Every structure is written in structure tokens, then in C-alpha cells.
Amino acid sequence: MSSRVPPLAGRGDLLRLFLPRFTRDRNDRINMKDYQLLQQKYVVNTYPDRHITLIKGDGVYLYDQNNQKYLDMMSNYGVSIFGYNNPHINKFLRNQLKNLVVLHGSFNNNTRALASQKLIEKCKGYYAKVYWANSGTEAIEAALKFAVLATGKKKFISCIGGYHGKTLGSLSATSGEKYKNPFEPLLWQFKQVTFGNEKELEKAIDKDTAAFVVEPVQGESGVIVPPKDYLKKVRDICNKHNILLIIDEIQTGAGRTGDFLASEEVSADILCLGKGLAGGLPVGATIVTQNIANKIPKHIHTSTFGGNPFVCAGVIKTLEILDDRLLNQVKNLGEYFINKLKAIKSDLILQVRGKGLIIGVEVKDKRNALLKFLQDEHVLVIPAGENVVRFLPPFIITKENIDFTVEKFKKCVDSL
Ligand SMILES: Cc1ncc(COP(=O)(O)O)c(C=O)c1O
């Protein structure tokens, strides 16, 4: 190995599998400015290193510094839902850039006001108001604090396998010893119950329970789709025991499952959105009913950048582009993709599951090898859980992009 190889970013299998390519590329590109080296040297190493340096995006493709193109089947963990360099989004953002980028929430603003109104209308529930943040985890932090303010209670229930972020409040709701252990004791009291089992939820509730936090489809833990009507039953139980329902749609919302919300059949008390909601810009949204909004005092929770006009312009354009035609397209492409993946015959594949364009393929083993093979074939996908290959493509992919991906996936599965 070259003596100029930087310290390792993480020590998992994923990294080791990508290492040989890294060394080879280093030699090939000896005269080029090595951003990989710089990033590994100067950025705190909390991420595994995928060993490619991507510098440009256009449509469904990302390009490395040698202008090699990669088909993006992960949209940056579900963020870049309209692909890259989207002319509609860009034009709108450029206009907002000229007018006003940032404005504190204590001043009113046309773009923020319209984004908030359009979002509440798009959610079609009993929701009344939105609190704007800058990321998913912040949306959850606000949700937990609002639930405490509304109920005066501090006990929560979340799900085994649930993922809600990694700041201290959301980490308390998130499942997974490896993320939590170093930071115990975490906040308040969080009990965890089996996802998809409403009876367990009912047993876990006591008189001090404030709220139940749940994803409509568990993303990070492996694209787990609950039984039909699970959320409706959960809603009934929350009503019966007078606890709040917090639905985390940070990964599933903004059209990912083929509906604007995956939880459209129920109304939560607090709904969290993030990821693709601003068409690729950093955003978090905590949406509440009027009852909850009435119990949130001024000054109690704020954010300098939250609701800035630039990001709100991204939200307005996103809500406009996400019309019924595009949502139907997400549904149809999702079905097409899932059926094609299901048609692959291989002992390595245990299950293909998903809804719309959040799709997971559970494999017996060799998941990380599959990710690496696909990357070598210039298709970018991401992991979920222990053994799931996750596809979160942009909504603008075509059937040809899906055919290409499935063909490469089959080739990789066959070669392992
Ligand atoms: C369901 C869910 N909730 C919360 C989060 C945290 O969002 P962020 O990484 O933007 O803080 C994620 C991120 O993957 C998520 O999938």
C-alpha cells in the first residue's frame, strides 16, 4: 500500500472491500489533486469512505473527477429526488438567491409564508402549522419537545429497528446499541416495541406516556413494510389511551412511496419531514395540529437558519413538481423495479420488498461485496440494516435506468 494512503475512515468490511480500488486509483491519478486524501485528512471520520470523488451531478448521473459517470440509484440517501442540475428547481432558486437567502423567523417573509401554507395544504390532514428546521434529526428534536409541552409527560415509545437521527433526543428514539451505548444514559425514558405489532404498543403504554414515534416504512433498518392497516390500528390505540402519535416521514415522505405521505390514511398529531422536501437543499419540517401548536410558547424552540427563504423556495418548487402525475410515476416505476428484482433467480437473495421507490433486497450475506461490485459497474446504491441493499433512486429515473441497474445487479449476484 502506498505510504500516502490516509488514515482509515472506519474499520468495517465496507471499507476493506473498497480499499484495493482506492489504491489503484491513487496510482492512476497521481498528478491530480487528491480530494479523497484531503477529505480523509481534514474531515472527522464519522463516515465510511466509498473511495470515489464525485464532483458534478446532472440528471440521474453523478460524475467523478475523471468525468466517469455513475448512475445514481440512491439520491444521497433519499434527498435528490429530482436528480441533479434540475432546470426547474435551479431557475426558481436562482431567483430567490437574488431576492433573499436568509431571514430570521421573527421577521415575516413571502416565500416562507407560501411554503408553509402549501405544505400544510399538501399534507391533507388535521395539520395546522409547521416548524422549520434544517435536517431530519432536528425535526425529530422539535417533535419530542413539542410532545412534552403538549402533554406535560416525558415517557416515549418507539420501535425496534426505528431510525430517527443521531442527535441526543432523536438518538433516544433510534434503535441500535452501537449508536447509543457510548452516550447512555440518553434522554427521558424510551421503551421500544416490535414494529408492526400494535398489541405490543398497547401493552407498553402507561399513564406517563407522552407519545409513540414511528416510521410508516422502516428505512435504515432494512426497508421493512408493516402489515396493512398498522398505522390505522396505532392511531386508534393512541386515541384510546390519549397519547400523541408522532409519524416520522423523513425518509418516506415527499413522494418516496408514490403518495405525498406514506401515512396518508391516518393523521398524526406531529408529522416530521426532511430529505427531499426542498428538492435537494437541507430541510426539516415538524408539522403539528392546532391543539399542539396552541401549547408551544414563544422562544421555547428556535433555529437561526430554520425556514430560510432560500430553502423555502426549494420547498415551494418541490411541492409544485410533486403533482399526481409524478407521484403515479413513482408508484409505477416502483412496481416495475420490484417485479424485475423479484424475477432474478439467485440463492443469495432472501427477499425483495419496498413501496414506490424505497426498495430493499435482503441478501444472505456478501451485501458489502455487492455494493462494491455495483459501484465498480458505475451504479451507486446504499446499505440498510445488516444485509440489505437499498435503492432510493431519484423520481426522474426511467425504465431503461431500472433495466440497466437490474442487469448489473444480476451480473453481480451471479458472480458472487
Ligand atoms: C426516518 C428517518 N428519520 C430521521 C432521519 C435523520 O435525518 P437527518 O440525517 O437529516 O438528520 C433519517 C435519516 O436517514 C431517517 O431516515
203 Cα–ligand 1 center, Å: 27
76 plus 138 within the same structural domain: no
Task: Check residue 9 and give its pLDDT.
Answer: 34
250 Cα–ligand 1 center, Å: 6
pLDDT bracket for residue 178 (50, 70, 90): confident
Point out the least confidently predicted range of 24-33, 169-178, 198-207, 282-291. Answer: 24-33
219 Cα–ligand 1 center, Å: 9
Q: Give the percent of the chain with pLDDT over 70.
A: 92
Task: Check residue 323 and give its pLDDT.
Answer: 97
Lining ligand 1 with CB less than 6 A are 77, 135-137, 140, 163-165, 215, 219-220, 248, 250-251, 274
Q: Is residue 77 part of a domain?
A: yes
**For all residues of the chain together, what is the average pLDDT?**
92
20 Cα–ligand 1 center, Å: 31
Q: What is the DSSP string of 248-289?
A: E-TTTTTTTTSSS-TTTTS--SEEEE-GGGGTTS--EEEEEE
Between residues 35 and 21, which one has the greater pLDDT?
Answer: 35
Checking if the pLDDT of 13 tops 50, the result is no
Q: Which of 75, 76, 79, 163 to mutate to test the pocket of ligand 1 (most atoms within 8 A of CB)?
A: 163
Owning domain of residue 127: 87-321
Checking if the pLDDT of 86 tops 80, the result is yes
- For residue 252, give the ligand 1 atom closest to its CA: 1
209 plus 98 within the same structural domain: yes
What confidence tens digit (pLDDT) does each residue in 347-383 have? 999 999 999 999 999 999 999 999 999 999 999 999 9
Checking if the pLDDT of 23 tops 70, the result is no
Checking if the pLDDT of 308 tops 70, the result is yes
Q: Is residue 347 part of a domain?
A: yes
Q: Do residues 75 and 392 touch, judged by C-beta distance below 8 A?
A: yes
Q: Do residues 152 and 199 touch, judged by C-beta distance below 8 A?
A: no
Q: Is residue 36 part of a domain?
A: no
Domain total for the chain?
Answer: 2
- For residue 219, give the ligand 1 atom closest to its CA: 16
CATH number at residue 293: 3.40.640.10
The pTM score is: 0.92
- For residue 220, give the ligand 1 atom closest to its CA: 16
331 plus 316 within the same structural domain: no
Checking if the pLDDT of 25 tops 50, the result is no
The dihedrals phi and psi of 234, each to the nearest 5 degrees, come to -60, -45
Residue that terminates a domain, selected from 259, 293, 321:
321
Q: Give the percent of the chain with pLDDT over 90.
A: 88
Checking if the pLDDT of 17 tops 90, the result is no
What confidence tens digit (pLDDT) does each residue in 316-343 have? 999 999 999 999 999 999 999 999 999 9
Q: Is residue 47 part of a domain?
A: no
CA-wise closest residue to 131 among 294, 272, 311: 272
DSSP 32: S
144 Cα–ligand 1 center, Å: 15
- Mean per-residue pLDDT for 225-250? 98
Q: Going by CA atoms, what residue is nearest to atom 7 of ligand 1?
A: 136
Q: Going by CA atoms, what residue is nearest to atom 16 of ligand 1?
A: 251
Q: Is residue 2 part of a domain?
A: no
363 plus 385 within the same structural domain: yes
Q: Is residue 41 part of a domain?
A: no
What confidence tens digit (pLDDT) does each residue in 27-84 have? 444 445 699 999 999 999 999 999 999 999 999 999 999 999 999 999 999 999 999 9
C-alpha cell at position 410: 444480476
- For residue 215, give the ligand 1 atom closest to its CA: 1
What confidence tens digit (pLDDT) does each residue in 247-282 have? 999 999 999 999 999 999 999 999 999 999 999 999
Residue that terminates a domain, selected from 276, 292, 321:
321
197 plus 303 within the same structural domain: yes
Return d(Cα 160, Cα 174) in angstroms, integer: 8
- Mean per-residue pLDDT for 114-125? 96
Q: Is residue 26 part of a domain?
A: no
Task: Check residue 12 and give its pLDDT.
Answer: 44
215 Cα–ligand 1 center, Å: 10
364 plus 267 within the same structural domain: no
- Mean per-residue pLDDT for 114-137? 96
